[in-house]
Every structure is written in C-alpha cells, then in structure tokens.
Amino acid sequence: MRASSRTDIVGVDIGGTKIAAGYIGGGGRLVQTGVEPTTPGDGAANVAAVHRLLAHPDLDGSPVVGVSMATTMDENGALRDPHNWFGWRGVDLAELLRTDRREFVVVADAEAGAVGEAMIGASSGDQRALYVTVGTGIAHCFVEAGRPLSGAHKSAYFSGYTTPARCSWDGCDAPYVERISSGTAIARDFLGEERGDTRLVFDAARTGDRHARQIIEHAAWHLGVLIADLMLIYDPDSVVIGGGLGTGADSYRQRVAEVARGHLTVEHTRGIPIRRAGLGGSSCWAGAILVAREQCTDRAISEDAHTLISTQGRLP
Ligand SMILES: [Zn+2]
C-alpha cells in the first residue's frame, strides 16, 4: 500500500525560520518528511515552499492538509502577520494554498501545538492542559477535554503581549514579555540582530560570558513569572513548554520552570507539573492534523491516527 493512501490528512508547520511537513504513520509514529527555510516577507516563495514539501511521495495523495501557522487569524480567517514576517498579512491562507485536489485547514501554532501535546504528547491523559510555545515569539493555549480555548477574536493565545512584571533589572522597559523572553529578543539583545542564531547566545553563556548570562536570566525570569500567572489563571492539570527555544534549550526551560515555581504562593498550583513538549519539533504539524480532522468530520482520518488517539484515550 502506498503511504499516501493511508494519510488522508497530513500536516505542515509554518514557523518563523522554517517550514516542516509530515504525517502520522504506522503505529502512530510521527514521520517528518521535509523541511524548507521560511523566506522573510516573501509570500510567493513561502507558498512555493509549502507546495514543494507536499509533493513528497508520502504526502502527495492527501486531500486535506492541516497547517500550523506562526501567527493568528482574525474572525474572518485573515492572517494577522503583524510584522509581515511571511508576506501574508491579511491573506486567507487556506484559500491561497487551495488547489483542485487539496483543502487546507489553517490553525494558529499555539493552538496546533497545544492540541498535539494534549491529545498525543506530554499532556495526553490530562483533562486541562496549558501549552506555552517559546520560539520566534511567545504564545499559549489552554485545552480542555481536547478542545482549545480560542477566544472571542481567535486570540486567546496572546500571553507574549502581556505587560512585563516588575523586575529588578536596570533599564527594563520592554512593552511586552515577548520582547524580553522570546528567541528573537534574546538574539537581538546579545547579537544586535533579531534573526540571529539564539544558540550563539547560549553558547556564550556556557563559556562564561556575563552579558549573555544576564540576558538569558532576565528573559527566563520574565517568562517564568508569566507562566506562574497563567497557571494561577487556568489551573491546569499540567503545563507543557514547546517551541524551538522551549524544547531546544533545556537549561532555559528548566530555569523558567524554577522561576515559575518560585513565584507561586498557592501550594497546589506549585505542584502542577511543567513538562517539555513530548512531540518535540513535530507538535505543531501533528496538532494541525488533529485539528483538521475535527473540522473535516466527513473525511476519514488514517487508521493509524485513529489507533494512536484511541490508544491514548484522548478522543474528545
Ligand atoms: Zn525586566
């Protein structure tokens, strides 16, 4: 049997630096089939990259594609893309990508990652799961019984835009937390370049660079406080930290969790587990597959995905 005949719904994750595609394969295995770089501000190049990834023989026959998008959509489905990072501001991406033989379901990445982790990842089995994604930006999504809370304006994910808590650092005047604690903020503050490689900052900190250490500690402090606040607001069974930086930099995630616990004065909230995303770099495209499945109930999801979900007992 051709793989594509088993994968009715496949997934694409469009992130700030790269675009990845994959499917849920035999026994619920997550199979990533390819990665392409994101082209800053060039919508046509990014559309072409998505179609190139979907031409992979394992994905080619799929009639439905779940797309995780590293921005949000308004109530009418138009992408917000506020800095025109992808060249798609105001665009209906599902419409733009649609072909004669393919439908697209576009989901905000925070929601896709949250659903992926809640159904088949690090918080599977939990009724109420809070997911925080930390990478190019910062966002969160709360999932209850498999259903993501999306809000009145499809923007119940905007924790990155909340005002920073009072800290003791000199000259801390960022307008919102994402400007301090995201990968782009850390890169900008140390390298002077938003699109710089955040790993260079962590490397410098490891070899004793005081400035790099201060930037990372300050970033971890603000993110930890933010997560503590979210834990008090949502009272989840578990918290999962995902995203490129959230899963890639263990020391950062661990420090963030430590700061969060240190700020929680409510005892039972302090005991809520804070975990690393279990699906790693695949949570967004895998979650987009699961969301697309919910929205395309007339289409069959692959037997393997069904097996995986029912095994996990997470069918909403
Ligand atoms: Zn500060």
Once rounded to an integer, what is the mean pLDDT over residues 13-21? 93
Say how many Å lie between the CA of residue 74 and the centre of ligand 1.
31
State the Cα angle at 39 between 35 and 44, rounded to 5°: 100
Burial 144-170 (b: 16+ CB within 10 A, else e): bebebbbeeebbbbbbbebebeeeeee
DSSP 99-130: BTTBEEEEEEHHHHHHHHHHHHSTTTT-SEEE
Q: Which pLDDT tens digit goes with each residue over 206-262?
A: 999 999 999 999 999 999 999 999 999 999 999 999 998 999 999 999 999 999 999
Report the C-alpha gap between 11 and 263 in whole angstroms. 37
Count the residues in the chain: 316
* Average pLDDT of the segment spanning 107-121: 95
Q: What is the DSSP letter of 70?
A: S
What pLDDT is stored for residue 303 in this prediction?
A: 58
How many Å lie between the centroid of ligand 1 and the Cα of residue 264?
A: 18
Element (H, E) at 246: helix 244-248
Residue 108: pLDDT band (50, 70, 90) is: very high
- Predicted local distance difference test score (pLDDT) of residue 196: 85
Residue 169, helix vs strand vs coil:
coil
pLDDT category of residue 295 using cuts at 50, 70 and 90:
confident
Question: Is it the case that residue 315 has pLDDT exceeding 90?
Answer: no
Entry pTM: 0.88
Spatial distance between the Cα atoms of 117 and 122, rounded to a whole number of angstroms: 5
Q: How far is the CA of 166 from the centre of ligand 1 (A)?
A: 7
Tell me: pLDDT of 128 over 60. Answer: yes
Looking at residue 229, its pLDDT comes to 98
Element (H, E) at 305: helix 303-312
pLDDT band at 301 (very low <50, low <70, confident <90, very high): low
Helix/strand/coil for 171: coil
Q: Which of 4, 6, 5 is nearest to 306 (CA)?
A: 6
Ligand 1: distance of its center to the CA of 163 in Å? 10
| % of the chain with per-residue pLDDT over 90 | 79
> Residue 266: which pLDDT band, with cuts at 50, 70 and 90?
very high
- Tell me the pLDDT of the chain averaged across its residues: 91
- Whole-number CA gyration radius for the chain: 19
Q: Which among 149, 182, 163, 164 has a CA at the least distance from the CA of 15?
A: 182
How confident is the model over 41-86, as pLDDT tens digits?
Answer: 999 999 999 999 999 999 998 999 999 999 899 988 999 988 899 9
Q: Which domains does the chain have, with CATH numbers?
A: 3-109+282-309 (3.30.420.40), 122-276 (3.30.420.40)
DSSP string, 271-295: TS-EEE-TTGGGHHHHHHHHHHHHH
Contacts of 162 (CB under 8 A, 6+ apart): 176, 177, 226, 229
What is the pLDDT, as a whole number, of residue 316? 35
Q: H-helix or E-strand containing 229?
A: helix 210-234
Burial letters 44-68, b for 16+ CB under 10 A, else e: eebbebbeebbebebbebbebbbbb
Q: Which two tokens stand for residue 230?
A: 């979210």
More confidently predicted of 305 and 27: 27
Q: Measure the CA angle with vertex 84, ends 80 and 89; round to 5°.
A: 40
**Worst-scoring range by mean pLDDT, 64-78, 258-272, 276-290, 296-310?**
296-310
CA 261 / ligand 1 centre spacing (Å): 18
Mean pLDDT confidence for 95-101: 95
Residue 214 CA to ligand 1 centre (angstroms): 11
> 169 CA to middle of ligand 1, Å?
5
Q: What percent of the chain has pLDDT over 70?
A: 91
